Amino acid sequence: MSEKYDVVVIGSGPAGYVAAIRAAQLGLKTACIEKWQNAEGKGVNGGTCLNVGCIPSKALLDSSHKYHEAHASFNKHGIAVGALEMDVSTMIARKEKIVSQLTGGIAGLFKANGVTALFGTGKLLAGKQVEYTDLKGKTQVLDADNVILATGSTPIDIPVAAVNGDTIIDSTGALELTEVPKRLGVIGAGVIGLELGSVWGRLGSDVVLLEALEDFLAMMDQQIAKDAKKIFTKQGLDIRLGCRVVGSEVNGKEVVVTYKNSDGEEQKETFDILIVCVGRRPFTEGLLAPDSGVQLDERGFVFVDDYCSTNAPGVWAVGDVVRGPMLAHKGSEEGVMVAERIAGQKTQMNYDIIPNVIYTHPEIAAVGLTEEQVKNSGEPYNVGIFPFAASGRAMAADENDGMVKIIANAETDRILGCHIVGPSAADLVQQVAIAMEFGSSAEDLGMTVFGHPTLSEAVHEAALAANGHAIHIANRKRK
């Protein structure tokens, strides 16, 4: 006789484990299946985010930034440092410890909330049945009233630079390097490429990023993107736009990359390590039986409606495996929404207000519409900008690169978007996201009292500037 559950979740990344915990909190008998194994072969929760994504990359970003500060900035503060050395093995060990603590934390949360943790693989069969195969190969069928698919995503491979795990690696391999490569190539200057390039560039690598698109960070507000590119170039990152990789050849311990530049000219570069960061694709291999009733769209994502329900009754899908930005927090909120809808609640999710962050230094963060999107819509708008160079707190911290940009409707003053490149951008943009969730105007933010001296005063001033009322910079003349 098969085991019966109210909810079976396949995948325990940010979307899956949050869905499982919330479902259990609502009194639903819940199981969560995860195939991830650590170096010791033990099943662990957390998916890509905790094991080889968000968390480990941020650990390395923070470690490398501290090294860079000690190397390049401490003297400005009167701090004299002797000979500096970077112990990469210690940095990696610290990263692994953080990962272990957090994945272990999920195990504790599952236990506290009554979620049954199952390690192995899950395949959706017809009639909301799940074929569960444990890590030893034993198979059983689970019956479920509801199934939540949360299998996440995996790096995209490209034939012209096939990953070999040695000289050509993907984002996972870039988190495991045991020494600093002298010459580092990165295919793709998007979020992942910039973050990984920043890690190893701070530690001494000569980093070249080859980006096929002509525009830098095309999905971001282009004024912010251009400012960010200037900052990263000043930091030493060699960002080459309009460069399409057409081939690669491993030559001993080196890899020779052939690419065509923006003029169509063929160029070659030699690297010690090449990281392929051209994006991620939904992971659905082995997930769906032919008669499961679940459809994939033309790009391989599980097809869902606005509430993450698939076309198969009682089957839901959340996170990277469905449409929308591949962001951990987007998946987590979808997990909560689905669990609550299964429990009979009418929970909805506002997809228009999902913050996006790039954890370089300075950080880049955005929420809402870009100026280009608003302009193309024909909606009348105002823009308020405040540079961190005019922020007393930013100057005191020697963090005065970048700006805050707020876009508001010119007639209603409702905030349409906020874009930041600068210190603590990830935290600052969340203030505006909260304001937008409640339909706030730029004037509302401008009338709010902000503590002094704080970086968040830059948000306040940008909101004031949207209506020509900024205090600490000259206001733009309006037409």
CB 368 within 8 A of CB 377: no
Among residues 278, 294, 322, which one ends one of the domains? 278
Nearest one of 388, 401, 393, 386 to 446, comparing CA atoms:
386
DSSP one-letter code for 279: -
Average confidence (pLDDT) over 436-460:
98
Neighbours of 306 (CB within 10 A): 9
Does residue 350 sit within a domain?
A: no
CB 188 within 8 A of CB 245: no
Does residue 306 sit within a domain?
A: yes
CB 186 within 8 A of CB 209: yes
Task: Write out the residue range of the structural domain in which residue 422 sits.
Answer: 356-465
Q: What percent of the chain has pLDDT over 70?
A: 99
Predicted pLDDT at 124: 98
Q: Which two tokens mark 358?
A: 């790039």
Q: Which two tokens mark 445?
A: 């933010």
Does residue 364 sit within a domain?
A: yes
Place of tokens 């994006």: 279
Place of tokens 């198969």: 312
Average confidence (pLDDT) over 265-294:
98
Does residue 477 sit within a domain?
A: no
Residues 148, 168 share a domain: no
Taking only the tens place, the pLDDT of each residue in 139-160 is 999 999 999 999 999 999 999 9
Amino acid, res. 51: N
Residues 447, 374 share a domain: yes
Residues 271, 408 share a domain: no
Q: Which two tokens mark 138?
A: 């034993």
Residues 139, 41 share a domain: yes
Does residue 473 sit within a domain?
A: no
Among residues 228, 257, 278, which one ends one of the domains? 278
Predicted pLDDT at 138: 97
Q: Is it the case that residue 479 has pLDDT exceeding 70?
A: no
The CATH number of residue 459's host domain is 3.30.390.30
Q: Is it the case that residue 110 has pLDDT exceeding 60?
A: yes
Q: Is it the case that residue 171 has pLDDT exceeding 70?
A: yes
Q: Which two tokens mark 388?
A: 């961190």
**Dist. CA 158–CA 384, nearest whole Å:** 41
Q: What percent of the chain has pLDDT over 90?
A: 98
Taking only the tens place, the pLDDT of each residue in 76-96 is 999 999 899 999 999 999 999
Predicted pLDDT at 461: 98
Q: Which two tokens mark 366?
A: 């955005």
Q: CA 346 from chain center: how many Å?
A: 28
Q: Which two tokens mark 25?
A: 């909190």
Q: Which two tokens mark 102?
A: 């957090």
Q: What is the total count of domains within the chain?
A: 3
Residues 430, 376 share a domain: yes
Residues 311, 175 share a domain: no
Q: CA 269 from chain center: how many Å?
A: 29
Average confidence (pLDDT) over 451-455:
98
Residues 460, 322 share a domain: no
Residues 269, 138 share a domain: no
* DSSP string computed for 99-129: HHHHHHHHHHHHHHHTPEEEEEEEEE-GGGE
CB 352 within 8 A of CB 368: yes
Amino acid, res. 79: I
Predicted pLDDT at 476: 82
Average confidence (pLDDT) over 98-120:
97
Nearest one of 210, 170, 169, 165 to 190, comparing CA atoms:
210
Among residues 228, 249, 278, which one ends one of the domains? 278
Q: In a 3-state reduction of DSSP, which class is residue 457? A: helix
**Dist. CA 229–CA 217, nearest whole Å:** 9
Residues 21, 149 share a domain: yes
Nearest one of 24, 19, 47, 21 to 34, comparing CA atoms:
47
Residues 119, 16 share a domain: yes
Residue spans of beta strands (DSSP E) within 181-300: 183-187, 206-210, 238-240, 244-251, 254-260, 266-271, 273-276, 280-282
Residues 271, 235 share a domain: yes
**Dist. CA 186–CA 171, nearest whole Å:** 10
Average confidence (pLDDT) over 232-254:
97
Does residue 27 sit within a domain?
A: yes
Q: Is it the case that residue 125 has pLDDT exceeding 70?
A: yes
Q: Given pLDDT bands bounded at 50, 70 and 90, which one contains residue 279?
A: very high
User: Is 452 an annotated catalytic residue?
Assistant: yes
The CATH number of residue 93's host domain is 3.50.50.60
* Rg of the chain taking only CA atoms, in angstroms: 24
pTM listed for this prediction: 0.96
Predicted pLDDT at 91: 98
CB 208 within 8 A of CB 196: no
Q: Which two tokens mark 21?
A: 């915990």
Predicted pLDDT at 478: 66
Set 77, 329, 361, 452: catalytic member: 452
Q: Is it the case that residue 363 has pLDDT exceeding 90?
A: yes
Taking only the tens place, the pLDDT of each residue in 180-204 is 999 999 999 999 999 999 999 999 9
Residues 174, 136 share a domain: no
Q: Is it the case that residue 369 has pLDDT exceeding 60?
A: yes
Q: Given pLDDT bands bounded at 50, 70 and 90, which one contains residue 3?
A: confident
**Dist. CA 243–CA 372, nearest whole Å:** 24
Predicted pLDDT at 417: 98
Does residue 472 sit within a domain?
A: no
Nearest one of 137, 140, 115 to 1, comparing CA atoms:
140
Does residue 408 sit within a domain?
A: yes
**Dist. CA 141–CA 124, nearest whole Å:** 10
Q: Is it the case that residue 1 has pLDDT exceeding 60?
A: no
